[in-house]
Structure 1
Amino acid sequence: MLSRDSGGVGSYRLDMTLAPATPAFLDRLAQAVPAVRIDPPSARWLEEPRGKWTGQAAAILRPSTVEDVSTILRMCNEAGIGVIPYGGGTGLVGGQLTSAEGVLVLSLDRMATIRASVPEDNMIEVEAGVTLQAVQQAAADAGRLFPLSIASEGTACIGGILGTNAGGTAVLRYGNARDLVLGIEAVLADGTIIRDLKRLRKDNTGYDLRHLLIGSEGTLGIITAASLRLLPRPAQRGTAFLAVDNPAGALSLLHKLHSELGEVITAFELMHRQGLDFLAEFFPNMAHPLENNPEWMVLVEVSAATGCADALQDALGAAFEDGLISDAVLAQSEAQRDALWAIRETIPEGNRMTGAIMSHDISVPLSQLADFVARGNELVRAIAPDARINCFGHVGDGNLHYNVFPAPGRNRAEYKELQDSIQRAVHDLTHELGGSVSAEHGVGRFKVGDLERYSDPGRLRAQRAIKAAMDPNGILNPGAVLSGVPLG
C-alpha cells in the first residue's frame, strides 16, 4: 500500500507480484546502458506535490535516449521488475508514486531536447522531459502559439502531460492535450520502440496508437517524444473579471457570449468567493479586482486576429443590461491581464496552504453543473456542517475542482473519519448526473477504486484486455489506473 498521512483516504492495492530490483540487477543494467544515471531514491522523486503521500523505489533511472529507455524496459520486462514513469512530478492522483518494494522510477528529465521547430508545418517536436513552459516559449520564438496552459506549466513535462491527457484553462477553445498531438515516439513494455513522429493532420493507416497511449498514464507504454501542433498567435486578446449571481448565471453568460462572439472565447473560469478569501489570508498583497466581494465570479478571455476586445466589451455591456453580470473589470494592458490571471492561477496554492479535507476533480454536462453545485453543497454539509467549500474551475468545459476545507481554527486531521463519506457523496452525485470523477488529473493509484465502481463494465473489460495484451507481465506503472488486472 501507499504510505499515507492523516490526509489520505481509502486503500490503494498493488495486485501484481513483481520481482524487486536487486543491486545485482542494477549492476547489469549499468553495464548494458552505461549512459543512464542511476540515482538513489530521495524525497524529490517520492513525494507528491501536496506532501500527503510518500512512495518508495529501489533506484531512480535517468536515461537520455529512447534507445536507453528501450533497453531498460526490455531488461525489466524479462526480470519482472516494475517501472514507474516520472515526468515533472506534479500529478495529484498518485500516478508517479508506489509503495511496492523494489520498483524502479524512470525519470525522463534528461530527455529534454526540442528536436525540431517547423513553423511552416505548424509543428514542434520535443522530448518527454521538456517542460510545458519551454514548449510555449519555443512556439512563441517561432511566431506561433502552443495553447495548452496549466498552473504547473513551469514544472510539468510533456511526457506526463500526455500521459494524463492534461486539460487546463484553454480546453474550451483548443481541446485537451491529445487534441494538440500529431505523433509520438514511445517504448512498449518489451522494449519495442514506436517511431511515429509525424507532421500529418490526416493519417488513417490502421489503429491510432497515439491516442491509445495518450492518457494511459504510462501503463501501456512510455512516451519519450511527441510532435505537437502549433497555431497562429492571436494578435489581440480581451480579458475580463466579472461578478455573476451563481453558477446558473455564469452558464447563461457563457451561452450568450458564445452566441454573440462565436469561437473566439478561449477561457471561461468560474471562481467562488471562498477561494479569494484564502488568497486574502495567504497573499494579502494580491489585489481584488472588484470593489465588492461577490460570491461568484468569472474570468473570461477571448482571442482573435483583430476586433475581439471591442466585441467582448460590447457583449458584456449587453450582459449588464440583461442582468447577467453585476460588476466587471476589463484588462486595459498586458500587465492588468496578467494580474487577473494571477488570481485564478494562485487559487490552487491558496488551497494547498489551507489544507483540504478532500479535493475532487470532476466534470459534468453543462446542463447539470448548477444542480451539481447546489446538491453537492447540501450533501457535504450534511456530513460536515462546518466545512468550507471552494468550488472553481474550467466551467466552459464542465470541469470543476470541488474542494472541501476545515472550518476556521480546525485542521483536516479532525475530519479524518468523514473523508470517505464526503468523497463518496461527491462522486456518487457526479456519476448520477452523467459526469466523470476524473476530469483532467487522471486515475493514478488514488482513483483506482472509483474507476471500478463507476465505469461501464464493458469499457472496463476492454481496458483490462488492452493492458493484458500490451503489458502481459504488468511492469508498466503497476497498480496505476487498473487494479487486479487478469494477466496471462
Structure 2
Amino acid sequence: MSLNPADTRFADHLRSLLPADRIRAVEPRYLEDPRDIAHGRAGVVAVPKTTEEVAVLIRAAGEARVGVIPYGGGTGLVGGQVMPDGPAPMVLSLERMAAIRAVYPEENVLIAEAGAILADVQAAAREANRLFPLSLAAEGSCRIGGNLGTNAGGVNVLRYGNTRDLCLGLEAVLPDGSIWHGLTRLRKDNTGYDLKNLLIGAEGTLGVITAATLKLSPVPAGRGTALIAVASPRAALDMLALARDHLGEGVSAFELIHRQGLDFQAEVLPQIRQPWSEPPEWCVLIDVGLARGLDPQQALADLFEAAMERDLAYDGLIAQNEAQAQDFWTVREHLPEANRKIGAVSSHDISLPLGALPEFLATAPAEIARHGDFRINCFGHLGDGNLHYNIFPQKGRTRAEYANVKEAARQAIYDMVVGFGGSFSAEHGVGRAKVGELERYGDPARLAAMRAIKAALDPLGIMNPGAVLR
C-alpha cells in the first residue's frame, strides 16, 4: 500500500488493530522543523501507549510497505523527524510512553520510557538525590528516545559523555515488529554484538527505542560557575588544560563564546542580562562540580589567578550564588535563540580535534570571505571539540541575498573541517539534511557496512526512510 495524505485505508486498518484513540489525524506540529527549513508529510499519526502497541504498528507498516517516522520531541535540527518527499509515512509519536518505570539510587540507575521528557528524567533523578547529567537547551521538550536516537551531546559531555555513555540497556521494537527486551542494569555483559550501541545514534532507521536503562551519577556537593575573558581560542584551550590540571574530573562544562553571539543577544534579546558592558572578543563559561569539603568559588578563583599569570585570561566573573550562576547560563542557553532571530545563512554543527581548533578558527574566516561578506558566530562545547559555527548576513542585509553563495560557503566550511580531521556533524546527527555530506566524506568501507546493516535489519526499508542513508 502506497499511502498518500488523503488515503484513509491504512489508518482505518490501524484502528481495527488498536484502540481508536491511538490513531490521530495529522497535526501541523508533527510536520514542522524547529528552524522552519524542512516541512514533512504524513498520512497518519500513531500515539501508542505500550511497547506491544508499537510492535503492532511496526508489523502493520511492514505489511503495507508504509514508512515509519519515529517522533520524539520534534526538536531535531537535521530533518530526521520530518519527511518532505515520497509516499506519506506514519508518524509514530512516543509522547504517551513517558513513564519513569523504576529508579535504583543504590545502583545509580533509572529506567525511563522513550517518550519521557529529558527535564522529567532529570527531575526523577534529583528526587532520588542523583544526577542525570545530560543537559541540552531543548531539555524542556526533547524526549529521551530522541536523545538516544541521535546520541545527543550537550554541555556536560566533557565530564559525563554523550547519551551513548549514559545508557546501559534498551528496549526496542525492531523493523520486523519483534521486541528486543534489553533493559539490563548490568555494567558488564560481553555476550555478543552490541545491539544497544547500534540503535543509539541510528536516528530511528534500525528500529524504535521504547525504553532505556540510564546511568545516574552522585550530585556534586559543591557547584561553581565562572565567565572568564580569554586572549584567544588558543588561550581558551590552554586554560582548559590548566583547569583539568587544577580540578581533574571536577570540570563539568567548558563553553567557548565569541563576542558576536553576545552582540546578537543585545540586539534581539535585550531582556537577557549581559555579564559585561563591553563584551570580550572571546570568553569561556566554566562549570565545576566538586566533592564535599572543597570550595568551588575558591577553586575557580585559584584557576583564574593561574590563568592570569600565564597571560591566558584578563578578566573574569565568578558566580557567588546560584542566581548568578543561572544568569551566566541563561546567556549561553539563549545563544541559539538569538541566532534564530537574526537568521543564519547557514548553520554548522562541527567537531575538531582539540589541537586543531585554534588553527581552524584563525583560518576559516578568510576562506569563508571568498564566498561572501558574512558575520560569523562561533560558540560551543570546547571541552569536547564541538563548535556551532554559523554564518549570518551583514547587518542591514537579509539571508535571502546570500542564497546564491550559501552552498559554496557551507561546502567550504565542511571541506576545512574534514581537512583538519573533524566531523561535519558533531551532535545533531545526519537526518535528511546531511545525507549528501555523509556520502561525500564518509569512509567507503564504513558506508558499505552501514548499508549492509540497514538491509539486514530493515529489508523493507520502512524505518525512517531517507534518513542517514538513501
TM-score range, shorter chain: over 0.9
Are residues 1:242 and 2:196 paired? no
Aligned-pair CA distance for 1:19: 2.4
Task: Give yes or no for contact 1:35–1:63 (8 Å, CA) kept in 2.
Answer: no
SS of equivalent to 1:298: strand
Match of 1:328 in 2: 316
Is residue 443 from structure 1 mapped to residue 430 from structure 2 by the alignment? yes
Percent of aligned pairs sharing the same letter:
55
Letter paired with 1:249: A
8 Å contact from structure 2 (residues 300, 318) kept in 1: no
Match for residue 300 of structure 1? 286
Equivalent residue number for residue 251 of structure 2 = 265
How far apart in 2 are the matches of 1:397 and 1:126? 27
Q: Distance in 2 between matches of 1:400 and 1:29?
A: 44
Q: Which residue pairs with 2:34 in the alignment?
A: 49
What is the DSSP-based 3-state SS (H/G/I as helix, E as strand, rest coil) of the residue aligned with 1:383?
A: coil
One-letter amino acid of the structure 1 residue matched with residue 370 of structure 2? A
1:175 aligns with one of 147, 161, 171: 161
Counterpart amino acid of 1:443?
A: V
CA distance, structure 2, for counterparts of residue 73 and residue 276 of structure 1: 46
Match of 1:108 in 2: 94
Counterpart for residue 15 of structure 1: none
SS in 2 for 1:101: coil
C-alpha distance in structure 1 between counterparts of 2:98 and 2:249, whole Å:
34
Tell me if the contact between 2:234 and 2:358 (Cα under 8 Å) persists in the aligned partners. yes
Please give the alpha-carbon distance, in whole angstroms, between the structure 2 residues aligned to 1:268 and 1:314. Answer: 16
- Give the letter for the 1:434 counterpart: G
Residue 208 in structure 1 maps to residue 194 in structure 2? yes
Say whether 1:343 aligns with 2:326. Answer: no
- 1:424 corresponds in structure 2 to 411
Counterparts of 2:429 and 2:3, CA distance in 1: 27
The answer to whether the 8 A contact 1:290-1:329 is kept is no
- Alpha-carbon separation, structure 1, partners of 2:278 and 2:311: 17
Unaligned runs of 5+ in 1: 1-17, 484-488
State the 4+ residue runs in structure 1 displaced beyond 3 angstroms.
Answer: none
Q: Deviations over 1:389-434 (max 9, x none)?
A: 0000001100000000011111111101111101100000011000
Deviation digits for residues 42-92 of structure 1, max 9, x if unmatched?
Answer: 220101011122111101111111000001101111211100010000000
What TM-score comes out, normalization by structure 2 length?
0.97
**One of 433, 440, 446 as aligned partner of 2:420:** 433
Q: Between Structure 1 and Structure 2, how many residues are aligned?
A: 465
Q: Work out which of the residue numbers 472, 476, 483 in structure 1 matches 2:459.
A: 472
Alpha-carbon deviations, 1:153-173, whole Å to 9, x = none?
000000100000000000000
> What amino acid is aligned across from residue 119 of structure 1 in structure 2?
P
Q: Taking structure 1 as reference, are residues 79 and 220 closer, same or farther at Cα in structure 2, changes over 3 Å only? A: same
CA–CA separation in structure 2 for the residues paired with 1:118 and 1:461: 41
Distance 1:290 1:91 in 2: 32
Cα distance in 1, alignment partners of residues 28 and 392 from structure 2:
26
SS, match of residue 427 in structure 1: helix
Q: Distance in 1 between matches of 2:175 and 2:2?
A: 15
Indicate the residue corresponding to 1:358 in structure 2: 346
Equivalent in the alignment of 1:392: 379
Is residue 2:144 matched to residue 1:148? Answer: no
Structure 2 counterpart of 1:454, which letter?
Y
Quote the residue 1:191 is aligned against: 177
Task: Give yes or no for the alignment of 1:317 onto 2:341.
Answer: no
| 8 Å contact from structure 2 (residues 14, 23) kept in 1 | no
Aligned equivalents of 1:246 and 1:36: distance in 2?
A: 57
- Please say if residues 264 and 308 of structure 1, whose CA atoms lie closer than 8 Å, have aligned partners that are also in contact: no
Which of 66, 73, 82 is 2:67 aligned to? 82
CA distance in 1, matches of 2:83, 2:315: 48
CA distance in 1, matches of 2:8, 2:277: 63
Aligned amino acid, residue 375 of structure 1: T
C-alpha contact 1:238 1:312 (8 A) present in aligned 2 = yes
TM-score, with structure 1 as normaliser: 0.94
